[in-house]
Amino acid sequence: MKKKLLSISVATIMVLLACASLAQAAPTVEVDGYTDKPYYKPGETVTLKFWVYNLGPEDIVLKNVTIEYPWYSVLWGGNKTIKNINAALTKDQNWTYTDTFTIPTDGRATGGYVTITYTYTYGSSTPNPSDYIALNVASVPWYGSFENMDKIVTLFTVLVVLVIVGAVIVAATIFLAMRRPQVSWKAEQKTE
């Protein structure tokens, strides 16, 4: 009886081991990137460069990358998707991409993060994670903004010069009026 129980147990364990799949460690994939300037104004062109790194331990195949910009519009077709990349990245390899785009001038451009969403496969898994790259946009000036102080200083300088010139003209008029010779009527010119 013990031999039968032992042989059934061994057979069951062998069947379970034959059906089990091999364990895979999930690869660590990261995105890193930068823009060519620290700040942008609306209307300026941005050069964005980023890398998709495979830190291992498994090999991956990079399929798609989507770039989403941090501004919103109801009718928007400006996000960019790079499809059918099919780049095989072994451990410690990367895929590089450079993108150029223009900051909108219609007031909807704000600072924030460019979202990089990427799809890759390893084994039978297809993860779709996202990473972020900072994008700083100088906002459109509002009533409390000091962005255009040079124009305000010029306006006040012109105003002060005009006030000084006006004060000099008024003072000269008063001075000359006080120094004007007095007209005296002679007796023969008086009519009674």
pLDDT at 52: 94
pLDDT score, position 176:
85
Give domain status of residue 6, yes or no.
Answer: no
Assess if residue 188 is contained within a domain: no
In this prediction, residue 8 carries a pLDDT of 83
Residues 46 and 137: beta-carbon distance below 8 Å: no
> Which residue type, as a one-letter code, is found at position 87?
A
- In this prediction, the residues of the chain whose per-residue pLDDT falls under 50 are none
Cα separation, 120 vs 89, whole angstroms: 10
Looking at residue 15, what is its pLDDT? 79
**Residue written as token pair 């100088």:** 138
Question: Nearest CA to 113 among 62, 42, 48?
Answer: 48
pLDDT the model gives residue 75:
57
Say yes or no: 81 and 158 in one domain.
no
Do 105 and 168 fall into the same domain? Answer: no
Model pLDDT, residue 93: 94
How far is residue 69's CA from residue 4's CA, in Å, rounded to a whole number? 68
Q: Are 114 and 67 in contact (CB under 8 A)?
A: yes
At 97 the pLDDT is 95
Cα dihedral 171→174→178→184 (10° resolution): 160
Q: Coil, helix or strand for 25?
A: coil
What is the residue range of 154's domain?
142-179
CATH number of the CATH domain containing 50: 2.60.40.10
Stated pTM of the model: 0.59
160 sits in the region (left: phi over 0; alpha: psi -120 to 50; else beta) called alpha
| Nearest Cα to Cα of residue 93 among 60, 47, 71, 139 | 60
User: Looking up tokens 């109801």, which residue turns up?
Assistant: 74
Q: In percent, how much of the chain has pLDDT > 90?
A: 41
Q: What is the pLDDT of residue 61?
A: 94
